[in-house]
């Protein structure tokens, strides 16, 4: 969808997926998110509304609001329909509405998928800038979906990544993503053995829908950084309890402690003390807690998504569009 703009203040700027993608390069998005987490914003709890479906499938309306004093106000609206696959449709649709926080005037309506995908990968990179070893060069990507496809570019923005392995349950999907990454300039290969690949990686990034642990803590060598993106319900897991016990644990937001099975499970089982979680990404960015303490320690970052990163990405898109078209507000 192309940009739609008007001189009338009452009309929205509509930014489609191609324009949003262009406006969110990782070399700009990563520092913008780091600054946003350091500066903070008002982020109310996200709203989940279950929508009854007569055919028995699940549907959810998700609202994620945030605002900044003297800056922007925004909300991401997402719909999640589990039965859409049978219709040949995506299971998730999302749109971001950005407004002027001083007046409430709507400024832009932005493709939400690009904001979500790219800010998710960039948040992981921001965390890695504090938690991964400075000399981390090898990356293991677990998964082969949209977020996994962005991991190599995002981590390369903060660490000298020169070797990428991809593992997925279906080897052909791992090979396809590795080929795509090679075409983009990365030294990437598909990994046949997850255990071997995990034992060789400096950074492990998991972006899957797994409901059982994929990464075992006993596989990890000293100094590994683990990035967990996929688990966003208590029933989902990507790492076992040994990973958690071995690691200094950080989260993107406090909600991760209860929303993700990667943390909720170990806490319920006594493998992780809630008080042992070192802090959030906002704490790291603002300097309230320390990041990696030694070259040998294992670090773990768990993200479930936060509206703070959404509004920061939406603001970056809007400023980029305004810069190319003249002042829009």
pLDDT (0 to 100) of residue 270: 87
Spell out the domains of the chain, with CATH numbers in brackets: 13-115+308-325 (3.30.1780.10), 132-306 (3.40.50.720)
Q: Which pTM value belongs to this model? A: 0.91
pLDDT (0 to 100) of residue 324: 58
Residue 214 DSSP label = E
Q: Which of 3, 34, 42 is nearest to 287 (CA)?
A: 34
The mean pLDDT value for 252-277 works out to: 89
Secondary structure string (H, E, C) spanning 7-45: CCCCCCEEECHHHHHHCCCHHHHHHHHHHHHHHCCECCC
Span 116-168, pLDDT tens digits = 999 999 999 999 999 999 999 999 999 999 999 999 999 999 999 999 999 99
The mean pLDDT value for 239-245 works out to: 93
pLDDT (0 to 100) of residue 323: 67
- pLDDT top residue among 23 and 57: 23
- pLDDT top residue among 103 and 8: 103
Secondary structure string (H, E, C) spanning 48-97: EEECCCCCCCCEEEEEEEEECCCCEEEEEEEEEEHHHHHHCCCCEEEEEE
Q: Which of 233, 289, 243 is nearest to 58 (CA)?
A: 233
The mean pLDDT value for 211-237 works out to: 93
Query: 249 pLDDT exceeds 50?
Result: yes
Span 33-86, pLDDT tens digits = 999 999 999 999 888 898 888 787 788 899 999 999 889 999 999 998 878 878
pLDDT level of residue 10 (50, 70, 90 thresholds):
low
Q: Quick one: tokens of 37?
A: 């987490």
- Average the pLDDT over each of 45-54, 68-77, 99-108, 182-191 and give the range with the smallest value: 45-54
């Amino acid at each position: 969808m192309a940009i739609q703009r008007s001189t009338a203040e009452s009309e929205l700027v509509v930014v489609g997926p191609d324009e949003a993608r262009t406006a969110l390069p990782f070399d700009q998005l990563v520092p913008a998110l780091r600054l946003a987490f350091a500066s903070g914003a008002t982020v109310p709890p996200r709203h989940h509304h279950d929508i009854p479906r007569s055919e028995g499938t699940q549907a959810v309306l998700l609202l994620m609001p945030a605002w900044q004093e003297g800056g922007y106000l925004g909300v991401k609206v997402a719909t999640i329909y589990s039965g859409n696959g049978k219709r040949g449709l995506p299971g998730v649709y999302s749109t971001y509405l950005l407004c002027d926080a001083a007046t409430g005037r709507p400024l832009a309506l932005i493709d939400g998928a690009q904001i979500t995908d790219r800010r998710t990968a960039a948040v992981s990179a921001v965390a890695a800038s504090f938690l991964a070893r400075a000399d981390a060069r090898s990356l293991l990507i677990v998964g082969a979906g949209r977020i996994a496809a962005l991991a190599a570019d995002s981590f390369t923005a903060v660490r000298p990544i020169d070797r990428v392995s991809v593992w997925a349950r279906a080897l052909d999907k791992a090979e396809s993503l590795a080929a795509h990454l090679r075409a983009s300039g990365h030294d990437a290969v598909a990994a046949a053995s997850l255990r071997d690949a995990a034992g060789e990686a400096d950074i492990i990034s998991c972006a899957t829908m797994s409901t059982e642990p994929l990464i075992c803590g006993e596989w990890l060598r000293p100094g590994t950084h683990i990035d967990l993106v996929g688990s966003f319900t208590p029933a989902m897991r990507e790492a076992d309890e040994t990973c958690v016990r071995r690691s200094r644990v950080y989260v993107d937001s406090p909600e991760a402690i209860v929303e993700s099975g990667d943390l909720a499970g170990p806490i319920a089982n006594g493998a992780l003390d809630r008080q042992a979680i070192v802090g959030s990404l906002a704490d790291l960015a603002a300097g309230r807690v320390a990041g990696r303490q030694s070259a040998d320690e294992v670090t773990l970052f768990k993200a479930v998504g936060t509206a703070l990163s959404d509004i920061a990405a939406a603001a970056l898109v809007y400023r980029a569009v305004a810069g190319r078209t003249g002042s829009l507000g």
